[in-house]
Amino acid sequence: MMEPTAVSPFTFIGCSELQESLGQQADDEKELAEMLEEVPLDSVHFHTHSYFLRHRFIERVYPNDFAQWVVTQVGDHILGEKLAVVDPFDYPNMEDLREEIISIIDDHLSRTPIVPRVVFGRPFYFHRSRILEVPTGVEARTLGEFRRAVSEIDVSAIYFHMFEAHFRLHREESDFSAWIRTGLGLPDLADRIRAINPYLGSLERLRSSLLTACDGYVARG
């Protein structure tokens, strides 16, 4: 049986990050929460979602800048654990995510007699970034071509189509699952890919999950 061929190909787009310092820093956890209330939402995005673009090959126990800082610079492992389990994909927008992070910090501080602060470590520096699209010249019209492209493409393209499409472009699902659903007419596979949580692991692990979903679908088909 011939595999479905899309009328419009999937065009893979990579990305790079242009960072900007906001000139604001926090020396203790109270200041971190207070400044989080004031910084632009782009900064919340930078320190949570685009964290994965900056650490694309490495999986970390504390998968956002806030959790990393309170553990490695302040030495507060309890708050670090609480912040590490915050899944940005559970929140429909950046404002809700910001409020959840602030709430976790405030609740933690309410149970701590002394505000944990940096002693020998570095302050938390707030940044934001702009994602620049980078054409790859790679296209796919069939599932086989899509699978080969995913296995070879720079992981920044996986970040762009899985993270950026969902949040900054305000789409219901990733570019990958949307194209497989409408372009190839494969809703079952689209649902499997849509169910993949990009937050759980590095971009390389996300690549492996995408390939596994494609391979599993073909094997069952």
What are the CA-CA distances from residue 130 to residues 9, 67, 133, 190 (Å)? 27, 22, 10, 29
Mean pLDDT, range 69-79, rounded to an integer? 97
Owning domain of residue 166:
5-15+130-220
- The answer as to whether 34 is a domain residue is yes
Q: Do 10 and 39 lie in a common domain?
A: no
Whether residue 52 is found in the same domain as residue 91: yes
Q: Which of 88, 108, 125 is the last residue of a domain?
A: 125
CB 216 within 8 A of CB 192: yes
pLDDT score for 58: 66
Same domain for 81 and 55: yes
Determine, yes or no, domain membership for 46: yes
CA distances to 33, 44, 83, 90, 117 from 95, rounded to whole Å, are 14, 9, 16, 12, 26
Tell me if 20 is assigned to some domain: no
Last residue of a domain, one of 125, 148, 175: 125
Question: How confident is the model over 31-70, as pLDDT tens digits?
Answer: 999 999 999 999 999 999 888 888 877 667 788 999 999 9
What phi and psi values does residue 198 have, to the nearest 5 degrees? -65, -20
Q: 105 and 45: one domain?
A: yes
Residues 36 and 97 both lie in one domain: yes
Same domain for 151 and 83, yes or no, is no
Q: What's the confidence (pLDDT) of residue 80?
A: 96
Whether residue 107 contacts residue 33, with contact meaning beta carbons closer than 8 Å, is answered with: no
What pLDDT is attached to residue 79? Answer: 98
Q: What pLDDT score was predicted for residue 221?
A: 67
Q: Are residues 65 and 32 in the same domain?
A: yes
Structurally, how many domains does the chain consist of? 2
Average pLDDT for residues 25-31, to the nearest whole number? 98
Tens digits of residue pLDDT in 141-199: 999 999 999 999 999 999 999 988 777 667 778 999 999 999 999 999 999 999 998 88
pTM for this predicted structure: 0.86
Q: Is residue 44 part of a domain?
A: yes
Question: What average pLDDT does the chain have?
Answer: 92
Asked which of 99, 125, 151 is the last residue of a domain, the reply is 125
- Residues 192, 176 share a domain: yes
